[in-house]
Amino acid sequence: MKKFVIALCAALFLPGIAMAATACSAGSGTLVTGDTANFVQVSFTPKCSANTIVDYNQNATAFWMGAASVKGKTSFGGSSSGGAVAKMTDCTLVAGCAAGDLASALASALAACGSSGTGD
């Protein structure tokens, strides 16, 4: 659970609002590339628990993410805009969450950041 929360928090923090990127899939971390134009400026690869899926997005001033467990029933999200990780939605599959469930969590996390991702 600790790795899941760390990956979730790490995923909360990326330039203009672009398509979501994947930070964790089936327990494998994907390189989050740093760039001085983004919120994340130093590249890192998150450590992910075996059943976690995490997507994130960012701009120059904020980072937001959505996460879930493929064995769980709830998606979570949060942002760098003072947004603690919180429950976002119930997943659509009874057997567990799927990558598609993260879109709603990301949208909710972005809304918590403000529509521009600036916290306004």
Q: Per-residue pLDDT tens for 51-92?
A: 999 999 998 988 999 999 999 999 998 888 876 788 888 988
pLDDT confidence of residue 117: 53
Q: Is residue 97 part of a domain?
A: yes
pLDDT of amino acid 92: 86
Q: pTM of this prediction?
A: 0.75
Burial class (CB in 10 A: 0-12, 13-18, 19+), 24: buried
Cα angle for residues 86, 62, 69 (degrees, 5° grid): 35
- pLDDT surpassing 80 at residue 22: yes
Range of the domain at 97: 2-113
Classify residue 120: in a domain, yes or no: no
Residue 118 has pLDDT above 60, yes or no: no
Is residue 74, in this structure, part of any structural domain at all?
A: yes
Q: Which has the higher per-residue pLDDT, 64 or 113?
A: 64
Measure the CA–CA gap between 93 and 29, rounded to whole angstroms. Answer: 23
Instruction: Judge whether 119 lies within some domain.
Output: no
Is the pLDDT score of 43 beyond 90? yes
Estimate to the nearest angstrom the gap between the alpha carbon of 112 and the chain centroid: 13
Evaluate whether 81 touches 75 at the Cβ level (below 8 Å). Answer: no
Q: What is the mean pLDDT of residues 96-104?
A: 85
Query: In Å, what is the CA distance from 65 to each residue of 37, 48, 94, 95, 100?
Result: 18, 14, 23, 22, 13
How many domains are there within the chain? Answer: 1
| Average pLDDT over the chain, rounded to an integer | 79
Rounded CA-CA distance 33/98 in Å is 24
